[in-house]
């Protein structure tokens, strides 16, 4: 498969062969896409709720909420820290000090929030990081197997190779393999969790809130119905309308071809229920 090089590293990486060029091109392409997706996730707006130009008077919050409900803006809440109205499914980030639309979490890897507008780039970053780790594992294992096979066949050049050099190469293989496995497993777990949150249409914050609501309501219903013989089912927390899984994926990755889902290209921001998140609700101040 390869010409007879002096080391497995040279066989995989330094050999002037077609396989060397192929592996180098593929790995660098994955690395380039990884860096591009990471840059987009870092520099893109995660979906910050715009702050009002003038201060909003919340002294009559109850009447304001009733007027908002009458005008079809249910789900809008008030953030006491940003002192503004925020759309449905928006949450306040303590690190960014802003409300983020459909906030997933604040990621230290990108030093930014993962929200409605940059979740696509974050998932692409995870995907290509996992691909790079997997490709690294394949290269390391292939080089290791190639070296063992050459030594077993009685390569003449191995007699002149010093033992410390062999130990260093083996230690290098082990370090690369362990690093690739750890990064690959960790990243793919987060990647799977991100896909599940999209398909179920629930962010981790919403999942935790719903679990707490079910737990609290279950405890209250158990205590209230202990004397009655007819026990009712546990109440479910209010949820938004469920959409098809493909529609949920298209809201994140774009409504174009599936091929463009793997590229860090800009897609139109989604809108839920016909409510544009770029504007504040119709309220009087």
Helix (H, G, I), strand (E, B), or coil: what is residue 123?
Answer: helix
Q: Is 82 marked active-site?
A: no
Q: Chain-centre distance of CA 82, in angstroms? A: 26
> Do 267 and 254 touch, CB atoms closer than 8 A?
yes
Q: What are phi and psi of 38, to 5 degrees?
A: -65, -40
Q: DSSP for 89-105?
A: TEEEETTTTEEEET--E
Does an H or E element contain 185, and which?
Answer: helix 163-199
Residue of 37, 82, 99, 107 with catalytic role: 107
Spatial separation of the C-alpha atoms in residues 4 and 105, rounded to whole Å: 51
Spell 23-57 as b/e; 16+ CB within 10 A means b.
beeebeebeebbebbbebbbebebbbbeeeeeebe
What would the two tokens of residue 91 be?
Answer: 């949450």
Spatial separation of the C-alpha atoms in residues 218 and 5, rounded to whole Å: 68
Instruction: Indicate which residues carry an active-site annotation.
Output: 107
């Amino acid at each position: 498969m390869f010409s007879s090089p002096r080391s497995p590293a040279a066989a995989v990486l330094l050999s002037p062969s077609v396989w060397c060029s192929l592996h180098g091109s593929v790995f660098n392409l994955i690395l380039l896409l990884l860096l591009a997706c990471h840059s987009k996730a870092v520099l893109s707006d995660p979906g910050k709720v715009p702050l009002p130009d003038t201060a909003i008077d919340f002294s009559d919050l109850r009447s304001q909420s009733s007027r908002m409900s009458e005008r079809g803006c249910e789900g809008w809440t008030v953030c006491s820290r940003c002192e503004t109205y925020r759309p449905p499914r928006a949450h306040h980030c303590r690190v960014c000090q802003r409300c983020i639309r459909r906030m997933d979490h604040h990621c230290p890897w990108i030093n930014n929030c993962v929200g409605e507008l940059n979740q696509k780039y974050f998932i692409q970053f995870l995907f290509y990081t996992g691909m790079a780790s997997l490709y690294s594992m394949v290269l390391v294992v292939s080089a290791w197997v190639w070296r063992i096979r050459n030594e077993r066949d009685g390569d003449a050049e191995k007699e002149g190779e010093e033992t410390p050099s062999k130990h260093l190469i083996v230690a290098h293989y082990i370090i690369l393999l362990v690093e690739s496995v750890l990064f690959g497993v960790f990243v793919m777990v987060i990647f799977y969790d991100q896909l599940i949150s999209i398909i179920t249409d629930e962010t981790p914050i919403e999942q935790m809130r719903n679990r707490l609501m079910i737990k609290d309501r279950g405890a209250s219903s158990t205590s209230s119905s202990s004397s009655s013989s007819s026990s009712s089912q546990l109440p479910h927390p209010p949820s938004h309308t469920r959409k098809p899984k493909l529609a949920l994926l298209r809201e994140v990755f774009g409504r174009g071809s599936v091929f463009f889902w793997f590229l860090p290209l800009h897609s139109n921001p989604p809108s839920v229920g016909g409510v544009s998140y770029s504007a504040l609700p119709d309220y009087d101040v």
